[in-house]
Amino acid sequence: MNSLKSPSDLEKLRKDILAKKDPKRLAIAACVSTGCQALGVQKVLEAFDEEIKKQGLEGKVEIKETGCLGFCEKGPRIVIYPEEVYYFQVKASDVPEIVSKTLINNEIVERLLYTDPVTGKRARYLSEVPFYKYQNRLLLESNSKIDPKNIEDYLAIGGYAALAKSLFQMTPEDVMKEVKDSNLRGRGGGGFPTYRKWESSRNAQGEPKYVIVNCDEGDPGAFMNRALMEGNPHSILEGLIIGAYAIGSHEGFIYVRQEYPLAIENMETAIKQAEELGLLGEDILGSGFDFKVKIHKGAGAFVSGESSALMTAIEGKVGEPRPKYVHTSEKGVWDKPSTLNNVETWANIPLIINKGANWFASIGTASSKGTKIFALAGKVNNTGLVEVPFGISLRDIIYKIGGGIRNGKKFKGVQTGGPSGGVIPKQHLDSPVDFDELTKLGSMMGSGGMIVMDEDTCMVELARYFVNFLCDESCGKCTPCREGLKQANIILNRIVSGKGTEEDIKKLEKIAEVTSVASLCALGQTSANPLLTTLRYFSDEYEAHIKEKRCPALACKELVSYYIDPEKCQACMICHRNCPADAIIGEKMKVHVVDQSKCIKCGTCYDVCPPRFGAVQKLSGEPVPPPIPEEERLIKRARKEKRS
Amino acid sequence: MYDDQIDKIIDKYGTEKGILIQVLLDIQHEFKWIPKEAIKRISERLKIPYSQIFRVASFYTALSLKPIGRHLVRVCVGTACYVRGAPRILDSVENKLGIKSGETTSDGKFSLETVNCLGCCALGPVIEIDGKYFGKLNSTKIEKMLSSCN
């Protein structure tokens, strides 16, 4: 393809691409993002290749490998065009039938459609699937339409039109105004107004100015950015170039964590293709505006997601934060003005330019505009990526979209904001989700991780998990964070092992206060959130651990014992065979007993005991009943046989 | 002995600024660890003190200063996997391999690491073996996966 020299060149190319596309052509779109690959989509694709040849459709079916389609729980998911048939949990063995029925005869393979777990009704259209029905997928929807490795697909859905509009119909000031009026706030966690960051860089002294995409996504439990970068890298790139134009920057960085190899690969391809077409590089579309961009791989450090730390990492140094008396937007990378925004923030820019600030500002709440992508995970039925307008309630996300809690268990709390966020309990489920409401509840928006917890999750253990995580990830530069987290970690470890004292709670509160006030960067300042929210909403669990040496969720290893109910045990030997510590005494026809002195509390016996017996139990805060006398152990099944 | 390969990696970046971490990542990718000799060579070529390179290499989790086994097993202990039983998965891998996280088996076959998030949160618990991801795990599946590694 030749380099494009003007907006009309771009439009002509777009027309040519669209003209080439036959809307009636058979196509299969399969998600090949990291999640579906883990579920074996590659085998499904190989089966399609083979079967298409075998059934004589070679050359007649286009196979499109797309980014994440959101509903990871039911992956691999495929779409068949032009009829838009959506199949879920497709296996390689389903492929011959899909080819012969759907591709050749235009029939639906009913069993592969989405089945509502409550009504049993099958959903022919995506709009009938509750997981999608309540979403507003402004950013994610494109993932199902494009092959991220092919710029033509992005152009076909109107890609780079916003860039052309910005460069030729708008001044940088116009772009700034549009972003300001849209009220877009940063999607990386803090929710800082994007416009203010941009303006500060724009007005700052110093050349060159840098623009940066933050795809460090270090929050465990969050994969929104990965999905966007894997599935639609051009939308991020387009947003970045528009931002650079508005700010007056000619150089950018895309910072991606090395744990996301596919995101890196797709972004590299996107950059190359955009350069070839003259959408990136010198004299973009003949406008005279130059912009180049480089990918910087992050080497794995949670703290490097913090803006000043990330910029130090770009300089090739240890990614530690620095005090922000001077904002990074004025002095960032190599002390030059640097604007850093999250992947999702950048991806919103082309939408705002195309559809206008008023349209964007009409979605959401008074203080938070547009949509937000959440990674819904944990103990919820429908896990995956969810894009919703701000203002939706947590309850709607978890119950309407997420389909409620797995295995009929009870909801206990939802964790938002990653390790810097907090746990929100059930009495606040009806709170609307926006930047300020979540902060009021003691948590925060964060980048969008949303982890649902049920009655089996121990909140003290969860607090310990986060504090331990942050303790590991603290860079150690400032004392309150380094030492505060370490001490909190020691205390929490004491509590979960049943050795806590009542004084410990006060100590934890004190540590939390000091760490949050005196730490250098956001990692330390927000590190108290998981601790404080669990103390605030689940104080009874802390008390049970401390006073009764009991874990109400039956999760803390040292406070739990495994016990085989002699009334229920059928002496089937399964737990005996699977126990890695040989701690189960038993033989055929003889009720099994856990040897408490040998038990390592791995829980294998609990997992493998057939549910119809349910003989293995967890006990906490009470002594394990002594084993029944030897002579009574034998009779169990004999008794049963006699009865039958 | 590593000089040629390292020079090649450095030359790829030309005269760009701030390439140290990228170079180290490439070396990690190529050799599976960062040998001392590599640090020395980078120090000579990029004119960065040995101590500074060592600091960077020891700061980031993706960079390893020890050689690792033929197969790298990474157990995700991110929050989503965690609430879905990652600690048990880790216990079970540790039991089966007879090593703790951060160690390598004495025959050099397996290295075990934990990782904070692989971004497949909807499929937790997840582990990665030699770059391939496996989701919705339980201990029986792990047994199979580990025994299929040669």
Q: What's the CA gap between A30 and A63, in Å, rounded?
A: 8
- Burial label for A540, CB within 10 Å (0-12, 13-18, 19+), is exposed
Q: What is the pLDDT of residue A634?
A: 80
Under an 8 A CB cutoff, do A451 and B79 touch? yes
Nearest to A431 by CA among A381, A393, A475: A393
Main-chain dihedrals φ then ψ at residue A354, nearest 5 degrees: -70, -45
Rounded to a whole number, what is the distance in Å from the CA of A256 to chain B's nearest CA?
A: 12
DSSP H or E stretch at residue A287 = none
Residue A335: list chain B partners with CB under 8 A: none
Q: What is the pLDDT of residue A176?
A: 98
> What's the pLDDT tens digit per position in B78-124?
888 888 889 889 988 998 899 999 999 999 999 999 988 887 888 88
Rounded to a whole number, what is the distance in Å from the CA of A220 to chain B's nearest CA?
A: 4
Nearest CA in chain B to A385: B122
Under an 8 A CB cutoff, do A220 and B79 touch? yes
Rounded to a whole number, what is the distance in Å from the CA of B38 to chain A's nearest CA?
A: 17
For chain B, what is the largest distance between any 2 Cα atoms, rounded to a whole number of angstroms? 51
Q: What is the pLDDT of residue A622?
A: 92
Q: What is the pLDDT of residue B123?
A: 86
Q: How far is CA B74 from CA B6, B71, B93, in A?
A: 27, 10, 10
The pair of three-digit structure tokens given for residue A98, joined into one six-digit string: 């899909």
Nearest to A461 by CA among A414, A510, A509, A531: A531
Q: What is the pLDDT of residue A644?
A: 42
Residue B17: list chain A partners with CB under 8 A: 315-316, 334
Q: By the CB < 8 Å criterion, does B149 face chain A?
A: no
Kindly give the pairing relationship between strand A210-215 and strand A251-257.
parallel
The pair of three-digit structure tokens given for residue A388, joined into one six-digit string: 């919703």
Q: What is the pLDDT of residue A271?
A: 98
Provide the 3-class DSSP secondary structure of residue A495: helix
Rounded to a whole number, what is the distance in Å from the CA of B3 to chain A's nearest CA?
A: 21
- Burial label for A420, CB within 10 Å (0-12, 13-18, 19+), is buried
The position carrying tokens 């937000």 is: A372
Provide the 3-class DSSP secondary structure of residue A338: strand
Q: What's the CA gap between B97 and B83, in Å, rounded?
A: 23
Q: How many CB pairs under 8 A join A and B?
A: 157
Among A residues 524-543, those touching chain B with beta carbons less than 8 Å apart: none
Residue A373: list chain B partners with CB under 8 A: none
Under an 8 A CB cutoff, do B62 and A299 touch? yes
Q: What's the CA gap between A128 and A88, in Å, rounded?
A: 14
Residue A607: list chain B partners with CB under 8 A: 138-139
DSSP H or E stretch at residue A359 = helix A357-361
Rounded to a whole number, what is the distance in Å from the CA of A26 to chain B's nearest CA?
A: 30
Residue A580: list chain B partners with CB under 8 A: 92, 95
Rounded to a whole number, what is the distance in Å from the CA of B107 to chain A's nearest CA?
A: 22
DSSP H or E stretch at residue A232 = none
Under an 8 A CB cutoff, do B95 and A217 touch? no
Under an 8 A CB cutoff, do A319 and B24 touch? no
Under an 8 A CB cutoff, do A316 and B22 touch? yes
Q: What is the pLDDT of residue A445?
A: 87
The pair of three-digit structure tokens given for residue A551, joined into one six-digit string: 């874990």
CB distance A39 to A32 below 8 Å? no
Tell me which of A36, A451, A461, A468 to substitute to probe the interface with B (most B C-beta atoms closer than 10 Å): A451
Nearest CA in chain B to A417: B79
> What's the pLDDT tens digit per position in A153-201?
999 999 999 999 999 999 999 999 999 999 999 998 889 999 999 999 9
Least CB–CB distance from B56: residue in A260, A318, A473: A318
The pair of three-digit structure tokens given for residue A328, joined into one six-digit string: 């990074």
Q: What's the CA gap between A124 and A129, in Å, rounded?
A: 9
Q: What's the CA gap between B134 and B126, in Å, rounded?
A: 6
| Axis-axis angle for helices A343-355, A172-182 (nearest 10) | 110
The position carrying tokens 């959130």 is: A529
Least CB–CB distance from A297: residue in B25, B82, B135: B25
> What's the pLDDT tens digit per position in B52-87?
999 999 999 889 999 989 999 999 998 888 888 898
Please list the helix, strand and coil fractions of chain B in percent, rounded to the nearest 5, in that order: 50, 15, 40
In three-state form (DSSP H/G/I as H, E/B as E, the rest C), the secondary structure along A142-201 is: HHHCCCCCCHHHHHHCCCCHHHHHHHHHCCHHHHHHHHHHHCCECCCCCCCEHHHHHHHH
Tell me which of B25, B79, B94, B123 to substitute to probe the interface with A (most A C-beta atoms closer than 10 Å): B79
CB distance A39 to A75 below 8 Å? yes
- Whether B3 shows a pLDDT value over 90: the answer reads no
Q: What is the DSSP string of A96-116?
A: HHIIIIIIIH----GGGSEE-
Under an 8 A CB cutoff, do B61 and A451 touch? no
Among B residues 37-76, those touching chain A with beta carbons less than 8 Å apart: 52, 55-56, 59-63
Q: Give, in degrees to the nearest 5, the angle at Cα A500 between A521 and A414.
A: 55
| Residue A481: other Cβ atoms inside 10 A | 28
Q: What is the pLDDT of residue B129?
A: 92
Tell me which of A73, A88, A223 to substitute to probe the interface with B (most B C-beta atoms closer than 10 Å): A223
Q: What is the pLDDT of residue A642?
A: 46
Nearest to A518 by CA among A485, A486, A481: A481
Amino acid at A163: L
> What's the pLDDT tens digit per position in A59-116?
899 999 999 989 988 989 999 999 999 999 999 999 999 999 999 999 999 999 999 8
CB distance A168 to A283 below 8 Å? no
Instruction: Count Cα atoms within 13 angstroms, Cβ side, for B35.
Output: 11
Residue A220: list chain B partners with CB under 8 A: 77-82, 116-117, 121
Low-confidence spans in chain A with pLDDT less than 70: 1, 635-644
Residue A406: list chain B partners with CB under 8 A: none
Nearest to B117 by CA among A418, A118, A45, A166: A418
Among A residues 399-418, those touching chain B with beta carbons less than 8 Å apart: 415, 418
Residue A258: list chain B partners with CB under 8 A: 25, 62
CB distance A256 to A299 below 8 Å? no
Nearest CA in chain B to A421: B79
Nearest CA in chain A to B84: A378
Least CB–CB distance from A299: residue in B17, B21, B135: B21
Q: What is the pLDDT of residue A635?
A: 56
